[in-house]
Structure 1
């Protein structure tokens, strides 16, 4: 079931989906259904172009990333017992530095987790995430990075089994039940993560990180609005989250 979800999710991302539509358009043209084929080709090309621009990518990400504000240490609240850092993709190559083996999302997540661990020296650091076919799991790499950055090993609890956020929420739930916890994950991923944890009956405080929809106060040159691969990647991150939320609604409906 997990592999099926991953496969379908990958097919429904903008680039493979729109390339598939383009191919279907070409086939229609070859079959002399020119109008239908041209419509598909133009739609796919225009969509791909728009998704590769900064305004569209940021417009897709902003509703997700602005749902929860950045974490600020409250002066009127008891310190947390646990800090949970959700897993992200890894490339466990021992020839690389530790931080280079983490994805951009993973690096942002563990950096925020370590920051909070230093802020709350009595809190336990719960690290999650499986290997995805790599030699080390996300949880194990997180633990190595955390220790290098000054976190004592006895404060670390690694959970290398969960393959997705739903499994992470299920496995973490009994560990934080009745305890104060902070949840660290990417800002765009936070709404879906909080929904899954709350569905398990636990209510951690959100600490989003790794924001992508960044705007500058200074004016941007016109060329920054041209289509670029990095903006398409940002659109894909948002698209992935919207697909995930749609899957949750569909699952809950049945």
Structure 2
């Protein structure tokens, strides 16, 4: 729990707010130069992280490491797809809501792609994971329910509701797909960390990234899209979270 609190405080918005309040405190204590510098630096950083160019610059290196479109996986000489792995994401298991509304955006795009691939490769198993995190149902259970509602037979689905993070998911799933041709479905920004953790466990799935944030328009964009926006701050925060995750796994020796 302490690690989660620390990780949350290191995200851009809490960290920059802490810097701002520290700067105001320094101003109150008559340390005017240090206080002004800290307040201006934190506010400028917050503005920049809330703009489209900066958010995309942070996100693009993560999302472009693996190809957007899967290659032809059933060409002659290649093994058929045997497993489709969908990693967990945050959910709000409110039974009063429709099933799809109980999934967050990341979870929704991940299981949608997983189900699409399961229909494309009808002999493959669908392995879904993710714990409850204080909710009534785990993301693995919600994924399984969505898959069945969209026409995937229950006998094809393996649900793993216990793994709490990507490292635990890799540990639990790697033995199931060892020596098998598997596709790994997760958000494009999350894919580099996920693939590294699966490789660390001896599994070598094929990446199937979804949920891309960096989308370039073919036409010219209006100027207001370059103004600071909460949407772009969220994009920067997602990228920041992934870089922190990569750093943590590298320090712990898992990458």
Aligned to 2:208: 207
Aligned to 1:169: 170
Unaligned 5+ runs, structure 2: none
Give the distance between the partners of 1:73 and 1:83, measured in 2 at CA. Answer: 15
1:101-140 deviation per Cα after TM superposition (whole angstroms, max 9, x unaligned): 1010000100110011001000000000001100000000
Query: Per-residue deviation at 1:250?
Result: 1.1
Query: Per-residue deviation at 1:72?
Result: 3.5
Query: Per-residue deviation at 1:20?
Result: 0.1
Aligned to 1:90: 91
3-state DSSP of counterpart to 2:95: coil
Aligned residue pairs, count: 251
1:53-96 deviation per Cα after TM superposition (whole angstroms, max 9, x unaligned): 11111110000000001223332422211100000000001111
Give the distance between the partners of 2:156 and 2:65, measured in 1 at CA. Answer: 30
Unaligned 5+ runs, structure 1: none
Query: Per-residue deviation at 1:5?
Result: 2.4
Alpha-carbon distance change, 102 to 118 in structure 1, aligned in 2, over 3 angstroms = same
1:156 paired to 2:154: no
1:201-238 deviation per Cα after TM superposition (whole angstroms, max 9, x unaligned): 11000000000111101100001110000100000000
Aligned to 2:229: 228
Aligned to 2:132: 131
Aligned to 1:19: 17
Query: Per-residue deviation at 1:9?
Result: 1.0
Give the distance between the partners of 2:231 and 2:175, measured in 1 at CA. Answer: 39
1:177-202 deviation per Cα after TM superposition (whole angstroms, max 9, x unaligned): 11111100000000000000000011
3-state DSSP of counterpart to 1:252: coil
Q: State the TM-score, normalized to the length of structure 1.
A: 0.97
1:121 paired to 2:130: no
3-state DSSP of counterpart to 2:126: strand
Give the distance between the partners of 1:73 and 1:240, measured in 2 at CA. Answer: 32
Give the distance between the partners of 1:218 and 1:150, measured in 2 at CA. Answer: 38
Aligned to 2:72: 73
Tell me which moved more, 244-253 or 98-107: 244-253
Q: State the TM-score, normalized to the length of structure 2.
A: 0.97
Aligned to 1:144: 145
Give the distance between the partners of 1:232 and 1:73, measured in 2 at CA. Answer: 36
CA RMSD of aligned residues (A): 1.0
3-state DSSP of counterpart to 2:159: strand
3-state DSSP of counterpart to 2:252: helix
Aligned to 1:33: 31
